[in-house]
Chains A and B, each alone.
Chain A
Amino acid sequence: RKEVEQDPGPFNVPEGATVAFNCTYSNSASQSFFWYRQDCRKEPKLLMSVYSSGNEDGRFTAQLNRASQYISLLIRDSKLSDSATYLCVAHQETSGSRLTFGEGTQLTVNP
């Protein structure tokens, strides 16, 4: 089983839609989590960090459920510019600075 698993996607949604991505992690020692965004043929960039139960930043909300070992990312009022691949990432402090990446979920927002 992979340490971090995401919805396989791809997701195709119209502009203005609300879309949610799910992610599960298998290592209960994981303590902090991140969502990175990766545009086509570009490097990943940090979108949000998730340390406690959740985090909200404008149209983006990330939630963490430690009991279920589940993280989600909700995008409200989606824009064309939200089209990208979203990577779910876990960090275990015992591994030092090492991160574990999921395979990503591709989102396309259509006009």
Chain B
Amino acid sequence: DGGITQSPKYLFRKEGQNVTLSCEQNLNHDAMYWYRQDPGQGLRLIYYSQIVNDFQKGDIAEGYSVSREKKESFPLTVTSAQKNPTAFYLCASSTRGGGAYNEQFFGPGTRLTVL
């Protein structure tokens, strides 16, 4: 089945530790995205990538880093510089570029709790 997988579903880390969240897709999508969602709030874009080996900062990139070495994979590292990392992290993918139809498909998310 085609889709997006994120692992792990729940993640606990001590303050000051870096942590990497996994995102893999087999939809053959060029574009991939990372969002953060806090309780009662909408999705805020952290980073996005429209093609392999290229990515752009979103609205809240500080304290995060990404890589896009393979089309299928877009891991997100939450660094110790991120002041409030506890949140629900969602990865998504879509076909690339503009055009009217741009549905983003989401993975099941990772809930990160920093203790």
Residues on A lying within 8 angstroms of B by beta carbon are 4, 31-32, 34, 41-46, 49, 51, 87, 91, 93-99, 101-104
Contact = CB atoms under 8 A, between A and B. Distances in A.
Contacts of A45: 106
A104 B42 contact: yes
Q: Main SS of chain A's interface residues?
A: mixed
Q: How large is the interface on B (under 10, 10 to 19, 20 to 34, 35 or more residues)?
A: 20 to 34
Contact of B108 (A43, A87, A94, A98): A43
Contacts of A102: 42
A101 B43 contact: yes
B101 A97 contact: no
Interface of B: 31, 33, 35, 40-45, 48, 50, 58, 88, 90, 94-104, 106-109, 111
Contact of B106 (A43, A49, A93): A43
A44 B103 CA distance: 11
